[in-house]
Chain A
Amino acid sequence: MLIAVILGFIFALCVPFFTRFFKKTIPFLYSLLPLSLFIYFFQFLGKIKNQGHVLFKYEWVPSIGIDLSFRLDGLSLLFAFMITGIGALVFIYTIYYLKGHEYLDRFYGYLSMFMASMLGVVLSDNLMTMFIFWELTSISSYFLIGFNNEDPASRKSALTALSITGLGGLVMLSGIILLQAVGGSYSFTELLNSSEAIKDSSAYGWIISLLFVGAFTKSAQFPFHFWLPGAMKAPTPVSTYLHSATMVKAGIYLLARFTPLLGDTFWWNGTLVTVGSVTMVYAAIHSVLRVDLKSILAYSTISALGILVFLIGIGTEKALLAAGIFILAHALYKAALFLITGIIDHETGSRDVTKLAGLQRVMMPVAIAGFLAALSSAGVPFLLGFISKEVMYEATLQFGDWAIILTALAVSTKILLLVAGFWAGIRPFTGNLPSEFEKAKLPSPLLWVPPLLLGILSLGFGAFPSLIGQSLIQPVFSSMSGTDTVVQLKLWHGFNLVLLLSIFTLVTGGVLFWFLKPSAELFQKTLRFELISPQNIIEGGSKMFGSFAGTWTRFFQNGYLRNYVITILAFLTLLMAYRLFWGVNIYIDWNQISPVSHYEIIVVALMIISILFAISTNSRTISIVALGVIGFANCLFFLFYSAPDLAMTQFSIDSLTVLLFMLVLVKLPKNKSFSSNIMKFRDAMLSLLFGTLIAILTLVVFEEPSTKEVSKYFAENAYVLAKGRNVVNVILVDYRGFDTMVEIVVLVIAAVGVYSLMKLDLNPSKKEL
């Protein structure tokens, strides 16, 4: 199992080596990968049906509870089938679709990487591992959306998708960590046992909100939906695979997965139903306002994802069953429609639904596939879409007080989606062939067999629901609902309200399709509302955040040394003043302080005079020398209080400082007075305050009882243990030798830094002038 999951990563890593030796065969070789994985997962079908789920455990980081454990149950098996099955078709389709593309090999590398990450998401039992795979899907999606890397719009869309889904993933990570803190494990299987405790805990609200953000961003729910239409910049196989069949359903997978664990509470159901219904109606309306085929499909995909969230939110057994069937039905027909759009685009060079017509004359098999897919999306009897729609209406009708509103929402969404589906799957294949598309011809079977196969599957599963009823849908339903209820899939549900609603949907949708024509003018009109669209608001918000950060940084990091010093000192002063004023009982015992001798008075007087000189003089040299005098006077104090080592070091440092200042300052132009009187006053006040506070602090520190044990230990043992009489030096080279070693390393780094900064010439051309 581990090998099955990571095989895609291995294949992706091998691309650079394969490219060198047998570039031409890469597409064929790599298409075998999803195909063989599909067969591998197929053999689990019977086992899952009998056992419920299978666990595989591989240790990874046991110390923090992260391992590579995989859980294969109905839900993950359904997703694994979609990932590898549709994956296989997409891999084959791409062979011809991107034939001769310069970076075809790279494309297969990205696709394999994506497939492996997606398998990881749906199979991981450990939530931390799932998160890692989850983010890997975002990253591989970034590469795939931005595959046409010379197109700025493509790069921008890729970045938008990455930032939205990546950010959502991080939010989800905090939800997972919180879940682990409450439930005590990262393993989903283990968490299932403490479901009640988690629901009762105070963190429950946080956990589900954080997980919701992750799921909604990934599955393009309102208001995060806008990255998905942008992602249509990717080549069509990518849109098919990632942005309709698999990756965008990862959020749905997450919600379905957590339903038995966290579901069936007011907040869970309420949030999901609200967000789901807003998304499905909003996106369905948008889908019939577009004229670009891929845009229509993108919005109808968002709408379908909304329906899934809505169904999971309703949360009854019927609703979960409907969601399970709809995941499969949608993947089959939407992938087919995307592949067909790709064929049309490839052969005619246009995706404009207002122009395309009559293509059935040149590409009949594609037209059949389109018809089947569109009919399934509409929910015409004998197609899988019909069964999912029936069960869905049953679920909404059973929802107590809200039944009428929810059913109305579902029916209107379905009607609009029917129109969108017909536009994409039927409209290009009716009427007369316009002269501009006369050169179009039937492409290689590599292109048209995959969508046709998907269409036939829709028909087969729809006409004979028993094919998948017990073997696949039953385990999916059991793992989502956590119950043992036996499900029955039937074509004929009897003559009842549900059937009436179905007929109403089909008739109204058909009439709308007949009268409503896609029009570019209508689409132009909707652009007026662009100002209040979520995309605009969120992008504007991030821009504002960026400019705020800029202003903030420029205010504090303005590049003037004097302002840095003022900021630091003012902050320190405020902090210390606050603490001293409220937190510390200031008491100074004057008796403890040693008497002042006359030479101390002389030295202090010397210091004060030099300070006055330093701040009043106009000559730089004088102020430097005055500062030097202050430093040397300081050394004298160290000597008075018996710290000769310190005095010596301070003396050398001061000499060096004065020398360095002299070196630099003599080269500067004559000093001028730049500061106004107010600035001088401000600086003086700040320095006085700071100095006073430091003095008080020092006196207060002296009042604290101090232990002399450490210094006593050093004094007694310096000669015995380290054969030295100078305790300071023994500490430096022996007791704290390691510190000194690191310090000299730091010194070297500083020297190298200064050297390279000084020699760095950012503007070489200037030198020549």
Chain B
Amino acid sequence: MKSLIFKTASAYLLPLLLLFSIFILLRGHYLPGGGFVGGLMASIAFLVHSFAFGLKETQNIIKINPGFLMPIGLVLAVGAAIAPFFVDAPILTGLWFEGPFRFIGMVGSALFFDIGVYLVVIGATLTIMFSITDTV
């Protein structure tokens, strides 16, 4: 893509979209949103960037191989799921901290679970997209 407007716009869009995706992720428990949609949005952000600047540039920005996000996310989600086991509750029971945190709101095992989903979705989508882009 050689369009200057697109390039300039996507350079600004990337951080904005990423922030927005985190916002969507965090509000998910109370308002429309959640880990899955958030993850998809973040992937779109990176994908648009790679459209404008090429795959190499985007990979340089991400620094790590997006594939690594998948196991990290899985560990987080599974950890959140079995955490109640250690306080003698059935697994997947929701555990919550007392009182809300600033900006974030209530924090509980469900949030970590959702963050896990978010990371897995980013990892899986980007792995698929990047390997297709790389090969074609």
Hey, which bits of chain A sit against chain B, CB under 8 A?
A: 644-645, 648-649, 652-653, 655-656, 659-660, 662-664, 667, 721-726, 728-730, 732-734, 737-738, 740-741, 744-745, 747-748, 750-752, 754-755, 758-759
Contact = CB atoms under 8 A, between A and B. Distances in A.
Contacts of A653: 40
18 contacts: A645-B34, A652-B44, A663-B133, A721-B94, A725-B29, A725-B30, A726-B32, A733-B114, A737-B113, A741-B113, A744-B73, A744-B121, A748-B74, A748-B120, A750-B124, A751-B124, A751-B125, A754-B128
Given A659-B129, A748-B74, A751-B128, 11 more contacts: A645-B37, A652-B44, A655-B44, A656-B43, A723-B29, A723-B108, A728-B34, A732-B36, A751-B123, A751-B127, A752-B127
B117 interface: yes
- For A652, A653, A723, the residue with the greatest tally of chain B CB atoms inside 10 Å of its CB is A652
Interface in B41-95: 41, 43-44, 47-48, 51, 67, 70-71, 73-74, 77-78, 81, 92, 94
A131 to B, nearest CB: 42
A741 to B, nearest CB: 6
Contacts of A725: 29-31
- For B32, B41, B44, B51, the residue with the greatest tally of chain A CB atoms inside 10 Å of its CB is B32
- For B31, B48, B51, the residue with the greatest tally of chain A CB atoms inside 10 Å of its CB is B31
Given A738-B92, A747-B124, A656 B81 contact: no
Contacts of A745: 74
A726 B110 CA distance: 13
Contacts of A649: 36-37, 40
Contact of A667 (B30, B114, B136): B136
Contacts of B67: 751, 755
B110 A652 contact: no
B42 to A, nearest CB: 10
Contact of A759 (B29, B77, B135): B135
B129 to A, nearest CB: 6
Contacts of B108: 723
B78 to A, nearest CB: 7
Given A659-B47, A737-B113, A751 B94 contact: no
A511 to B, nearest CB: 83
B106 A737 contact: no
A130 B44 CA distance: 62
Contacts of B70: 748, 751-752
Contacts of A728: 32, 34
A729 B73 CA distance: 18
Nearest to B40: A652
Say whether chain B's binding surface is mostly helix, strand, loop, or mixed: helix
A734 B35 CA distance: 13
A663 B124 contact: no
Contacts of A730: 29, 110
Contact of A758 (B73, B77, B113, B135): B135
B124 A726 contact: no
Contacts of B134: 758
Given A726-B28, A741-B77, A660 B44 contact: no
A722 B29 CA distance: 9
Which 9 A-B residue pairs are closest in the complex by CB-CB distance? A652-B40, A751-B124, A644-B32, A724-B29, A758-B131, A725-B30, A729-B34, A744-B120, A751-B127
A592 B28 CA distance: 34
A663 B131 CA distance: 11
A755 B131 CA distance: 6
B23 interface: no
Nearest to A724: B29
A731 B40 CA distance: 19
Nearest to A644: B32
A754 B92 contact: no
A732 B124 CA distance: 19
A649 B117 CA distance: 14
Contacts of A754: 127-128, 131-132
A569 to B, nearest CB: 26
A733 B34 contact: yes
Contacts of B120: 744, 747-748
A741 B78 contact: yes
A758 B132 contact: yes
Contacts of B71: 748
Nearest to B96: A723
Contacts of B127: 751-752, 754-755
A325 B26 CA distance: 87
B111 to A, nearest CB: 8
- For B29, B92, B114, B117, the residue with the greatest tally of chain A CB atoms inside 10 Å of its CB is B29
A653 B70 CA distance: 19
Contacts of A738: 81, 92
A719 to B, nearest CB: 9
B135 to A, nearest CB: 5
B94 A723 contact: yes
Given A649-B40, A741-B81, A656 B32 contact: no
A476 B76 CA distance: 69
Contacts of B132: 660, 663-664, 754, 758
Given A656-B40, A754-B131, A726 B33 contact: yes
A725 B113 CA distance: 17
A111 B7 CA distance: 76
A662 B73 CA distance: 29
Contacts of B81: 737-738, 741
A649 B21 CA distance: 12
A665 to B, nearest CB: 9
A656 B44 contact: yes
Contacts of B113: 733, 737, 740-741
A735 B116 CA distance: 17
A747 B77 CA distance: 13
Given A656-B40, A741-B77, A758-B134, A729 B94 contact: no
Contacts of B124: 747-748, 750-751
Contacts of A750: 124, 128
Contacts of B48: 659
B131 A648 contact: no
A602 to B, nearest CB: 24
Nearest to A667: B136
A658 to B, nearest CB: 10
Given A723-B29, A729-B33, A734 B94 contact: yes
Contact of A645 (B29, B30, B32, B78): B32
A655 B43 CA distance: 11
Given A722-B94, A726-B29, A755-B131, A656 B47 contact: yes
A644 B123 CA distance: 25
Contacts of B136: 663-664, 667
A726 B31 contact: yes
Contacts of A732: 34-36, 117
B50 to A, nearest CB: 9
Nearest to B119: A744
Contact of A729 (B28, B47, B74): B28
- For A649, A667, A733, A747, the residue with the greatest tally of chain B CB atoms inside 10 Å of its CB is A733
A724 B71 CA distance: 27
A722 to B, nearest CB: 5
Contacts of A741: 77-78, 81, 113
A734 B110 contact: yes
A269 B18 CA distance: 83
B117 A740 contact: yes
Contact of B34 (A659, A723, A726, A752): A726
Contacts of A740: 77, 113, 117
A655 B125 CA distance: 13
B41 A652 contact: yes
Interface in B1-37: 24, 28-37
B72 to A, nearest CB: 11
A662 B44 CA distance: 13
A758 B132 CA distance: 7
B21 to A, nearest CB: 9
